[in-house]
Amino acid sequence: MSELPELQQDAITTVREFFAALEMGAVDEALDLVDPDIVWKNTSLPDVRGAGRVGGLLRGLNRPSFGFRADMNHIAAESNGSPAAEGSTVLTERIDYLRAGPVEIAFWVCGTFEIVDGRITLWHDHFSWENFLRGTAVGLWRAMRR
């Protein structure tokens, strides 16, 4: 694993702070919460390995013409024999919003986060391409109506 000091907060707080940083465009702060060897998986897309590559993608989306936010519908944690708040696996069910110029795409995402020593080692998002395409069509329609 890494030689970074262990973060002293529960796993749910780590994931919530990660998303808050992403929403604010604070990529460096979000990356402070990930392990250097993080793996980011998205349904049917290639895995992204390492904090440098994950950071590169997140920074690429962190421009004035792009935006990200998420509405967390449910969040829960578990660990072998530990209370939920101290869990090492966090599950999220949320609506993600990606903005490109005037178009905002909303789509459902279920995410799994593995936390080791207080840092995210795995970020695995599951989503439906059909739902994503529907969200794209709605976003385009709304942008054209403005």
> Strand pairing partners for 128?
none
* Residues shown for the chain: 146
Only one residue has tokens 């993080």, namely 38
State the CB neighbour count (10 A cutoff) for residue 78: 15
Point out the catalytic residue in the list 32, 37, 117, 125: 125
Among residues 10, 37, 96, 117, the one annotated as catalytic is 96
Annotated active-site residue 96? The verdict is yes
Alpha carbons 94 and 82: distance in angstroms, whole number:
24
In the beta sheet, which residues pair with residue 115? Answer: 120
Q: How many CB atoms lie within 10 A of CB 145?
A: 6
Q: Which residues are catalytic?
A: 96, 125
